[in-house]
């Protein structure tokens, strides 16, 4: 069986991480002995402790596998801003589907999948069932607190995200410790301070920030330089007087006739239509 869950869906900064965990159906007791319960009710230290056991204790190593995908803030913003918008739900679902496929491709014999839902569970479950028709699919709200395998996946995702933030290096060259920007949630005072102070009037925020979040958008509107975009020219746009259309330079009627070479004139030779 395989569980799927995410971490970092709501913050205004930092990556979102999707995690999966999988184990034999008859080894659910291993997950329970590790302490895989509702990960939201666990402290960060407890999650680290459980994850370390998953990596080191023989029974866990022999029976529990895991995988994670880190989705950068820049990818999230680009997906939500591009012309064919890609919603966060779509980004989330695609990550989950990719991780399930990868596990199967690597040889995992997956017969049951349990997923903590994004959006309506019925719709998500139907989509997964269409892609994986031979697998029993269960998508539920708060699956993290119901199924230990989903809790294990949630621990993988949360621990990965926590440590990704701790070692984050700003490509912009900012020398800021992770303690200076907090958890990334809009209600965190440190995150609020970071959002207020780290605005470049031209380039906006560092890539740690999700530009597409309303918190960041509003702050940019207030403090960044104002800009506007010209309308795209079309065929009906009135051109300034005396301006030629670029197509006119390639039109046969404006093409200057080249003087024939003396060789052809002396021999009264003409170009065949096949080569004109």
CA 141, 147, 152: angle at the middle one, nearest 5? 105
CA 117, 30, 125: angle at the middle one, nearest 5? 20
* Residues 19/23/29/32 CA torsion (nearest 10 deg): -10
Burial class (CB in 10 A: 0-12, 13-18, 19+), 115: buried
> Are 163 and 51 spatial neighbours (Cβ–Cβ below 8 Å)?
no
Residue 172, marked binder: no
Residue 234, marked binder: no
Q: What is the token pair recorded at 33? A: 């002995």
* Long-range Cβ contacts of 34-40 (<8 Å, 24+ apart): 34/60, 34/64, 34/152, 36/148, 36/149, 36/151, 36/152, 36/155, 37/145, 37/148, 37/151, 38/142, 38/144, 38/145, 38/151, 39/5, 39/144, 39/151, 39/154, 39/155, 39/158, 40/144, 40/145, 40/154
CA 159 – CA 157 distance, rounded (Å): 6
Residue 6, marked binder: yes
How would you classify the pairing of strands 16-22 and 2-7?
Answer: antiparallel
Closest CA to 159 of 1, 2, 5: 5
In the annotated binding site for a divalent metal cation, the residues are 5-6, 116
């Amino acid at each position: 069986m395989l569980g799927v869950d995410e971490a970092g869906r709501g913050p205004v900064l930092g990556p979102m991480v999707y995690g999966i965990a999988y184990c034999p159906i008859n080894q659910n007791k291993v997950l329970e002995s590790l302490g895989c319960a509702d990960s939201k009710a666990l402290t960060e230290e407890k999650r680290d402790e459980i994850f370390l056991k998953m990596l080191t204790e023989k029974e866990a190593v022999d029976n529990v596998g895991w995988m994670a995908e880190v989705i950068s803030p820049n990818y999230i913003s680009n997906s939500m801003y591009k012309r064919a918008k890609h919603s966060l739900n779509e980004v989330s679902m695609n990550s989950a589907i990719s991780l399930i496929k990868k596990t199967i491709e690597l040889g995992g014999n997956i017969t049951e999948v349990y997923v903590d839902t994004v959006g309506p569970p019925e719709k998500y479950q139907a989509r997964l069932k269409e892609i994986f028709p031979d697998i029993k699919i269960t998508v539920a709200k708060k699956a993290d607190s119901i199924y230990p395998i989903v809790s294990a996946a949630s621990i993988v995702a949360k621990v990965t995200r926590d440590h990704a933030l701790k070692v984050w290096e700003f490509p912009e060259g900012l020398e800021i410790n992770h303690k200076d920007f907090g958890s990334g949630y809009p209600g965190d005072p440190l995150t609020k301070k970071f959002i207020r102070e780290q605005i470049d009037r031209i380039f906006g925020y560092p890539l740690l920030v999700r530009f597409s979040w309303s918190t960041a958008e509003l702050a940019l509107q207030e403090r960044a330089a104002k800009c506007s975009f010209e309308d795209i020219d079309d065929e009906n746009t009135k051109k300034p007087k005396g301006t030629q259309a670029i197509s006119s330079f390639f039109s046969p009627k404006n093409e200057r006739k080249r003087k024939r070479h003396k060789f052809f004139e002396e021999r009264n030779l003409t170009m065949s239509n096949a080569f004109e």
